[in-house]
Amino acid sequence: MILVFGKNGQVATELLRQANIFALGRDEADLSNPASCVEKILLHRPSIVINAAAYTSVDKAEKEEDLAMLINGEAPGAMARGCAELNIPFLHISTDYVFNGNGLEPWQIDSPAAPLNAYGRSKLLGEKEVMSAGANSAILRTSWIFSSHGTNFVNTMLRLANSNEVINIVNDQIGGPTPADKIAEALLKMAYAMQQGQKGGIYHYSGSPYTNWSEFASEIFHQSGKKISVHGIPTSDYNTLAKRPLNSRLDCTKITQDFEIETPDWKAGLVRMLNNLEINM
Would you state the pLDDT for residue 152?
95
Tell me which CATH code domain 2-151+178-208+248-265 carries.
3.40.50.720
Question: 178 — phi, psi (to 5°)?
Answer: -130, 120
Cα–Cα dist 73/148, whole Å: 28
Q: Can you say whether residue 220 is alpha, beta or left, with left for phi > 0 and alpha for psi between -120 and 50 degrees?
A: alpha
Q: Does the model's pTM come out above 0.85?
A: yes
Contact status, residue 167 vs residue 217, Cβ threshold 8 Å = yes
Which residues does the annotation mark as catalytic? 119
Three-class SS of the chain: CEEEECCCCHHHHHHHHHCCEEEECCCCCCCCCHHHHHHHHHHHCCCEEEECCCCCCCCHHHCCHHHHHHHHHHHHHHHHHHHHHHCCCEEEEEEHHHCCCCCCCCECCCCCCCCCCHHHHHHHHHHHHHHCCCCCEEEEEECCEECCCCCCHHHHHHHHCCCCCEEEEECCCEECCEEHHHHHHHHHHHHHHHHCCCCCEEEECCCECCEEHHHHHHHHHHHHCCCCEEEEECHHHCCCCCCCCCECCECCHHHHHHHCCCCCEHHHHHHHHHHHHHHCC
Q: How many CB atoms lie within 10 A of CB 29?
A: 23
Would you state the pLDDT for residue 280?
54
Contact status, residue 146 vs residue 152, Cβ threshold 8 Å = yes
Q: What is the pLDDT along the chain (281 residues), one digit of tens a residue?
A: 999 999 999 999 999 999 999 999 988 999 999 999 999 999 999 999 999 999 999 999 999 999 999 999 999 999 999 999 999 999 999 999 999 999 999 999 999 999 999 999 999 999 999 999 999 999 999 999 999 988 999 999 999 999 999 999 999 999 999 999 999 999 999 999 999 999 999 999 999 999 999 999 999 999 999 999 999 999 999 889 999 999 999 999 999 999 999 999 999 999 999 998 765 54
